[in-house]
Chain A
Amino acid sequence: MKERSKKMKRSSLNRVTPTPYLLLVPTLLLFAIFTYYPFFKTIFLSFSVTDKTGAFSKWVGLRNWVRVLGKESFWTTVGTTLKFAGLNLVFTFAIAMFFALLCMNKKRGSKIYEVLYAMPLAIASSPAAAIWLFLFRKESGLLNYFLGTAFAWTEDASVALIATSIVTIWMHIGASFIFLLVGFRNVSEELVESAIIDGAGPIRRIFSVLIPIASPQIFFVLFLNITNSFKAFAQIKLLTGGGPSNSTKTLIFSVYENAIINGRFETACVQALVLFAIIFLATRVQFFLEKRTVFYQ
Chain B
Amino acid sequence: MKKIALLLMVLSVAVMPFAAFGQAAPAAKVAVPAGRTEVIWWSNFSGSMQKSLLTMIEKYNAEQKKYFVRFEFQGGASDLMAKLQATGQSALPDMFSGAVEHTGFFAASSFCKPLQDFIDKDKWDYSTTYPHLITAYSDGEGRQMGYPVGNSFAGIYVNMDMFKKAGIDPYKELKSLQDVYRVAKIMVEKKYAKYGVAFHNNGYYVNAALAVEGVDSVNAGNGYKGRADASLYDKGATYKAMYSMLDAYQKIYAGGYGIPYGTDCNGEVVPKFAKGELAMFVGVISFHNRILTSGGDKLDIGMVPMPGCSENSRSTGLPAGGTGSFIANNGKPASQAGAYDFIKWMAEPEQAAYWAVSTGYLPVSSNAAATETYQTFMNRVFPRAKYCLDAQMKGDKITKTPYLPIANELLKANLLSIERVANDPKYSIDKAIKEATASVNEALELYNLAN
Contacts and interface: CB of A to CB of B under 8 A. Distances in A.
A269 B419 CA distance: 27
Contacts of A49: 446, 449-450
Contact of B110 (A53, A67, A262): A53
B419 A243 contact: yes
Contact of B78 (A50, A244, A261): A261
The interface residues of chain B, by DSSP majority, are classed as helix
Interface in B237-291: 260, 262-264, 267-268, 271
Contacts of A259: 82
B274 to A, nearest CB: 13
A52 B262 contact: no
A58 B447 CA distance: 11
B195 to A, nearest CB: 13
Interface in A23-59: 49-54, 57-58
Given A49-B449, A52-B451, A157-B423, A139 B267 contact: yes
A245 B446 contact: no
A288 to B, nearest CB: 38
B109 interface: yes
B161 interface: no
Interface string A142-173: 00000000001001110000000000000000
A266 B447 CA distance: 11
Contacts of A137: 264, 267-268
B416 interface: yes
Given A260-B79, A260-B82, A262-B408, A52 B260 contact: no
Nearest to B448: A49
Given A137-B264, A260-B82, A261-B78, A245 B419 contact: yes
A154 B434 CA distance: 27
Contact of B451 (A51, A138, A267): A51
Interface residues of A, number: 30
A286 interface: no
Contacts of A138: 263-264, 268
A157 B79 CA distance: 25
Given A138-B268, A260-B82, A261-B408, A244 B451 contact: no
A54 B449 contact: no
A246 B419 CA distance: 9
A142 B264 CA distance: 16
A120 interface: no
B82 A263 contact: yes
B108 interface: yes
Nearest to A55: B450
Contacts of B416: 245-246
Contacts of B442: 67
Nearest to B271: A139
Interface in B381-409: 405-406, 408-409
Q: How large is the interface on B (under 10, 10 to 19, 20 to 34, 35 or more residues)?
A: 20 to 34
B450 A58 contact: yes
B28 interface: no
A260 B423 CA distance: 28
Nearest to A158: B423
B443 interface: yes
Contacts of B419: 157, 243-245
Nearest to A156: B260
B132 interface: no
Contacts of B271: 139
A51 B260 contact: no
B420 interface: yes
B85 interface: yes
B20 interface: no
Contact of B449 (A58, A73, A152, A155): A58
Given A245-B420, A245-B423, A152 B82 contact: no
A67 B443 CA distance: 12
A236 to B, nearest CB: 14
A52 B443 contact: no
Given A245-B419, A262-B443, A264-B446, A52 B108 contact: yes
Contact of A54 (B78, B86, B405, B423): B86
A261 B82 contact: yes
Contacts of A264: 409, 443, 446
A246 B432 CA distance: 14
Nearest to B418: A245
Interface string A179-208: 000000000000000000000000000000
A51 B450 contact: yes
A263 B262 contact: no
Interface in B418-448: 419-420, 423, 435, 442-443, 446-447
A137 B81 CA distance: 29
Contacts of B81: 261, 263
Contacts of B420: 245
Interface string A45-83: 000011111100110100000010000010000000000
Contacts of A262: 406, 408-409, 412, 443
Contacts of A73: 435
A88 B449 CA distance: 40
Contacts of A245: 416, 419-420, 423
A155 B108 contact: no
B447 to A, nearest CB: 8
Contact of A243 (B78, B262, B406): B262
Nearest to A246: B416
17 contacts: A52-B450, A52-B451, A139-B268, A152-B262, A152-B263, A155-B260, A155-B263, A155-B264, A243-B419, A244-B419, A245-B419, A245-B420, A245-B423, A260-B79, A261-B82, A261-B408, A262-B412
Interface of B: 78-79, 81-82, 85-86, 108-110, 260, 262-264, 267-268, 271, 405-406, 408-409, 412, 415-416, 419-420, 423, 435, 442-443, 446-447, 449-451
Given A157-B423, A259-B82, A263-B85, 9 more contacts: A51-B451, A52-B110, A54-B85, A67-B442, A152-B260, A155-B264, A156-B262, A260-B79, A261-B81
5 smallest CB-CB distances across A and B, nearest first, come from A57-B450, A260-B82, A245-B419, A49-B450, A155-B262
